[in-house]
Amino acid sequence: MYDDVKNIEKLFSLDDKELLALADETRRKYLGDGVYLRGIIEFSNICDKRCAYCGISADNTLLERYHLSSEEILKAAGHIASCGIKTVVLQSGETDSLDDDWLARIIKEIKSSCDMAVTVSVGEKSFETYKKWKDAGADRYLLKIETTDPEIYSGLHPGMSLENRKRCLSDLKMLGYETGSGTLVGLPGQTVRHIAADIKYFNDNGFEMIGTGPFIPHKNTPLQDAKAGDVALVLRTIAVTRIVMKTVNMPATTAIGSMDRDFRDEALKWGANVLMPNFTPVPYKRLYEIYPGKRCISEPAGACAGCMEHLTEGAGRFIDWSRGGSARNEK
């Protein structure tokens, strides 16, 4: 039914009430009312890439760069575990200077000392590097495609290729990672048909996690004057993705919590089932500025873990403290 872009696009023509009801019913039927937590550590903002929308792009020479030590990362991971959260996400900019063996040692150390799933999100790497991290114990990998439209993609990613990003995602699936991708909603030139095509690509490839967030313009990027993504369209995209992909895990992203108000409670109602409290140590948190206005950058690491309960209950749901793997694999 959803092997045709047109059928996915048709879902976008449902009115808000119908779309919300269908997405909410699908989420409840396939996943229940639990909300999974993932503690994120943004361990470095060093990046070689020049993505036109991104505040930590190599071209932003005004940004102070940082890289956490192994000790700082392990301490933050221990903090996440002590809060009862069973997934750590290790995210950074993408750089050839990242030492693969160093990261493999960190993954091993976390896996041996804490009962947690490890998600890695450090960009495009070779099959061999992805294999090294999988062998070290990594469970999941996040690599958003942002858009599957070749023209929009090439206009925003100088020196990168859509084919290589797709190759990476296919390698990750082949290696047995729970694989995450997603769309940046509101990119210049993007239409609902493009977004429907992204969802078809995610569904065809059986990805287990999809992150959908609004594009938010950053003043030190070429897209500084572009319009931000429309929250209503982000919510509708989450809903359509839920209806098409059923069991997929989807965060109410920090980006959707960083608009003129926090829309994460709405995202939970429109089909999301994951929240991602931030455990990056405070002195560095504000430097991981992929977009402006990011939530809670001056609060102590992990402080938002407390407000997750509040947010979840407000949406009529509860926190599920399990690892929250893909419903197709583990629980």
Shortest distance, CB of residue 228 to ligand SAM, whole angstroms? 8
Fill in the per-residue mask, 286 to 305: x = in contact with ligand SAM (CB under 6 A), - = not in contact.
----xx--------------
Bridge partners, 120 (sequence order): 90, 141
Instruction: Tell me which of 80, 143, 210, 268 binds ligand SAM, using CB under 6 A.
Output: 143
- Among candidates 6, 19, 23, 4, which has minimal Cα distance to 273? 23
Tokens of 148: 């599957």
Instruction: Tell me which of 43, 53, 207, 263 binds ligand SAM, using CB under 6 A.
Output: 53
- Pick 91 or 249: Cβ nearer ligand SAM: 91
Residue type at 80 in one-letter notation:
I
Backbone angles phi, psi at 152, to 5 degrees: -65, -45
Cα gap 259→241, rounded to integer Å: 21
Instruction: Tell me which of 146, 178, 208, 289 binds ligand SAM, using CB under 6 A.
Output: 146
Shortest distance, CB of residue 121 to ligand SAM, whole angstroms? 5
Shortest distance, CB of residue 280 to ligand SAM, whole angstroms? 12
Which of 32-40, 104-112, 141-149, 275-283 is the region at the interface with ligand SAM (rule: CB under 6 A)?
Answer: 141-149
Of 231-260, binders to ligand SAM (CB under 6 A) are 255
Cα gap 6→1, rounded to integer Å: 10
200 binds ligand SAM (CB under 6 A): no
Instruction: Tell me which of 168, 169, 187, 216 binds ligand SAM, using CB under 6 A.
Output: 216
Cα gap 250→258, rounded to integer Å: 17
Instruction: Tell me which of 26, 119, 121, 280 binds ligand SAM, using CB under 6 A.
Output: 121
Which of 24-32, 111-119, 121-129, 150-158 is the region at the interface with ligand SAM (rule: CB under 6 A)?
Answer: 121-129
177 binds ligand SAM (CB under 6 A): no
Cα gap 101→203, rounded to integer Å: 33
User: Which strands, in side-by-side order, build the sheet including 318-319?
Assistant: 274-275, 34-37, 318-319
Q: Which positions ≥6 away from 181 have C-beta within 8 Å?
A: 142, 143, 144, 145, 169, 202, 205, 207, 209, 210, 211
- Among candidates 262, 260, 264, which has minimal Cα distance to 251? 264
- Pick 3 or 99: Cβ nearer ligand SAM: 99
The site that binds ligand SAM (CB under 6 A) totals a number of residues, namely: 20
Instruction: Tell me which of 20, 76, 94, 104 binds ligand SAM, using CB under 6 A.
Output: 94
> In angstroms, how far apart are the furthest CA atoms of the chain?
50
Shortest distance, CB of residue 250 to ligand SAM, whole angstroms? 14
Asked if 72 and 285 count as a contact pair (C-beta separation under 8 A), the reply is: no
Instruction: Tell me which of 215, 263, 279, 284 binds ligand SAM, using CB under 6 A.
Output: 215
- Pick 285 or 317: Cβ nearer ligand SAM: 285
DSSP secondary structure code for residue 301 in this structure = T
Query: E-assigned strands of 81-137?
Result: 87-92, 117-121
Q: In the complex, which residues of this chain contact ligand SAM (CB under 6 A)?
A: 53-54, 56, 91, 93-94, 121-123, 143-144, 146, 184, 213, 215-216, 218, 255, 290-291
